[in-house]
Each structure stands twice: as structure tokens, then as C-alpha cells.
Amino acid sequence: MAEFLILALGLGLAGILAGFLAGLFGIGGGAILVPILITVFPYLNVNPDVVAHMAVGTSLAIIIPTAIRSYRSHRSHGAGNAELLKAWVFWVPLGVVMASLIVGGVSGNVLRVIFAAVALLIAVKMLFNRASWTLSNHLPPRPVTNGVGFGIGFLSTFMGIGGGNLNNLFMTSFGQSIHQAVATSAGLGVLIAIPATLGYVYAGWGLETLPPWTLGYVHLLGAALVIPFSMLAAPFGARFAHKLSPRKLEITFGIFLLVVIARMMADVFA
């Protein structure tokens, strides 16, 4: 019982951190949750062969309520492009589904390198942003934004990242403020996480190696220990984001991405 309480406390703290970052940057929090869940799950009798799959599937399930809470908090501050999200309701999940069909054939290290390259591009944009780097002061017309939504859903699943990183780059490149981008990214996380979670439930359905309290590759007990804390922290992250100036929020996001890139590359060369 003492060991379980320690694990529960660790997952609760992870939920607080992931929820705060979800609200602050509009990201899912998977970069925080997945490595922690990979460490914790063996203590919850998860077979080593499915630990990684279980960590990703559970992380995606946690993102759904956390992202909803984060998005609603940003909307209370008048931020977020609801029309863009409505336009993406079909296209983003379609990109997720298409990527799910082919991602299994790509090695993990290749995915990590692709992620690091794209994240570095976004970090440079955020840290050294110049007015001349803005492509337009308005978002592209509907056919183009639909294609971008498909691409974000596809790349997010293909690279194992949250769509907030890519959407923040897209929206700020077309004259939208970082606050609007972050708020919209929070809602985007829901569009990505729902079909992706269902995919992990389906992929692990009926496997005999899975422990109790699981639904496919989603660990229900692990998710239940994290979700209340991540939902509690998400509004605080959103509130803090709106207290920062646009430039400070961009720089903070860029530094965060550099930290994530460093951790990802450490996994590649380990």
C-alpha cells in the first residue's frame, strides 16, 4: 500500500505539471506524461513488452479532458479560433487515422529525429521571431486551412507529438497572436486525442498480456490517478499564459521546446 501511495503521488505531480503546460502552451502534455508513465507502469504490473504502447495510449486518454478544460479556460479570456476548429473537425481526425495506418513501419529513432528537426524550426521561430517572418496577416482560405488541419493531424500522429506545436507555428506565421494560437491549440488537442485514443484501444483490444484495469492500451487506473490533477492545473496554466506578454510567451515556449528536443535526442543516442 505504501508503494502504491508513492506511485499515486508521483502520478498526481506529473498530472499537475502536464496540466499546467497544457494550459500554458496549448500542448497535450505527452512529452511530460509518456516518459513518466513508462517509468511507473512496470510497478503496476504492466508487461515490459507493452509498456511504451500503454504509456502513449494512456497519455492520449488523459489529454482529452485536460485539453477540454484548458480550451474552456482560454475561451473565458476571449481567446481561441472556434471557427478554425469547426473547420478541422473532419480534417484533423482524418490525418490522425491515415498516419495510424503507416506509422508502425517507421523506426522510433527516425520519428524522434523528425520531431527534433520540426521542433527546432518552431523553437527558432518563437525565440527569434521577426515581423518579416509573417507570411500574411490573415489565415489562408478554407481549402488551404483544411489541408493544414489534415497535415497537422497526420504529422502529430506520425511524429508522436501534440498538434499544439505545429498549430502555434502555423497560426503565428499568418499574423495570429501567440495567445490566439495557444488557445486554439488546446482545442486542437481534443480533435487529435479522441481518434488516437480510440486507435490505441482498438490496437490493444483482447491482448492476454495486458494487466487488469485496462481498455486496450489505455491503463484506466493510471489515467484515473492523473486526470483530476491535470484538469485542476490546466486553468492555472491558461491564466498564467494570459498574464505574459506575447513576446514573453513566445520565448518561454521556444525554451520549452529546446528542453524537449534535448530529452528526445538523449533517447536517440542513449
Residues of the chain with pLDDT under 70: 1, 31, 103-112, 131-132, 158-162, 264, 267-268, 270
Confidence (pLDDT) at 107: 59
CB atoms within 10 A of CB 64: 19
Q: Write out pLDDT tens, residues 152-179.
A: 988 877 665 668 888 988 999 998 999 9
Say if CB 192 and CB 99 are below 8 A apart: no
Q: Write out pLDDT tens, residues 84-98.
A: 999 999 999 999 888
Confidence (pLDDT) at 73: 93
CB-based burial of residue 127 (10 Å sphere; 0-12 exposed, 13-18 middle, 19+ buried)? middle
Confidence (pLDDT) at 131: 67
CA 179 to chain centroid, in Å, comes to 17
- Dig out the grid coordinates for 227 from the structure: 486526470
- Dig out the grid coordinates for 95 from the structure: 490525418
Q: CA 27, 31, 32 angle in degrees (round to 5)? A: 100
Distance (Å, whole) CA 195 – CA 92: 10
| Continuous H helices in 29-159 | 30-40, 51-76, 82-102, 108-127, 142-159
- Dig out the grid coordinates for 188 from the structure: 486542437
CB atoms within 10 A of CB 76: 13
Helix (H, G, I), strand (E, B) or coil at 122: helix
Contacts of 44 (CB under 8 A, 6+ apart): 7, 211, 219, 221, 222
Distance (Å, whole) CA 233 – CA 221: 20
